[in-house]
Structure 1
Amino acid sequence: MRRLWDRCARIARAMVGLPDYGTYLQHMAQHHPGAPVMDRVAFFRDRQQARYGASGGGRCC
């Protein structure tokens, strides 16, 4: 039941444009090993800035 809830929450966040922290962690581990990783709060603020006002669109790759 917990896995179902987590999946539904992830889908709901994606529908309203909120990024997933777990996906970010996987991306960093696969593509940027050894690079510093943002905590949840910093990640959320970074994604908000990328969506609502940063130049470059907020992509790293």
Structure 2
Amino acid sequence: MDKEILAIDDLGTEPREIIEYDNVLSPIIDLISYRYEHQLPTIITSNLTPQQISEVYGKRIGDR
């Protein structure tokens, strides 16, 4: 089965949360979590250190 690869360039430059109609959304966290749970390949580049990624996005995302 073919799986599409997603590449995210420069993680950490986007807003962490988005407020839409009083709902707080975390699109990057949701996206990475979804792709991990469904075993979809994802390539991410960032100038953040692994520790900074964990601080910004949480330990669960930093571990992925």
Structure scoring higher RCO (CA < 8 A, sep ≥ 6) equals 2
* TM-score normalised by structure 1 residue count: 0.27
- Relative to its length, the structure with more helix (as a share) is 1
* TM-score normalised by structure 2 residue count: 0.27
